[in-house]
Amino acid sequence: MIEFDGPVIVTGTDTGVGKTVTTAAIAAQLLSKGTTVEVVKIAQTGDDDDAATAGRLSGAPARCLRSYPDPLAPFAAARRAEAPLLRLKEVSDAALERTADVVLLEGAGGLLVPMGEDGWNVRDLAVELGCPAVVVARAGLGTLNHTALTLEALSSRGVEAAVVIGAWPHEPGLAERENLLDLPGDRLGCIPDGAGELSPEVFRLGAGEWLAL
């Protein structure tokens, strides 16, 4: 099982899998144990504010390093906005200059999405920092392949990883129930679907039941 000590990447098998709510749940659970936590959204695209959501739900300080208006991969969104590309060193420096015990670095989209200058991705960041990753996966059909590919891509670069199901349905079907048995990798737990709509107080209490950190 991965250790939460220093920087930890939170990535996903795809976009919309529940990375932000998972990041918030991890932060809330660590805070409840007396660990100090900072949440960093590496790059935000579109109208959402993932850092604000993670901070509100968890109670941890949260910030975003760079934001772009178009809902695209950060590299493409920066190009369209004619904005400076995010540099890998800029993000690694932000992680290493932390004041908290743990800094959770939430990516954008899936593991290999181009984030900035020279097309670096969050796997490159994990290698640069020598830190583990949490892979947020879907519950339904197709997730076995996507999760296995993501874990293989991390393992090929020596990055330790664990898996969280980012939105476990209240009424799981056959595929979800079987996937729970067959999903590859070490698992930290499941976040219930709709958890992001809970009040912060209820969310923080639930985090201890959803995750085994």
List, by residue number, the catalytic residues. Answer: 41
Q: Cβ distance 19 to 114 under 8 Å?
A: no
Q: Return the half-sphere exposure (C-beta side, CA atoms, 13 A cut-off) of residue 126.
A: 27
Residues 6+ apart with CB under 8 A from 4: 26, 30, 35, 102, 213
- For the sheet containing 6-12, what is the strand order? 62-68, 37-45, 102-106, 6-12, 133-137, 161-168, 187-192
Contact 106, 10 (CB under 8 A): yes
The single-letter code of the amino acid at 70 is D
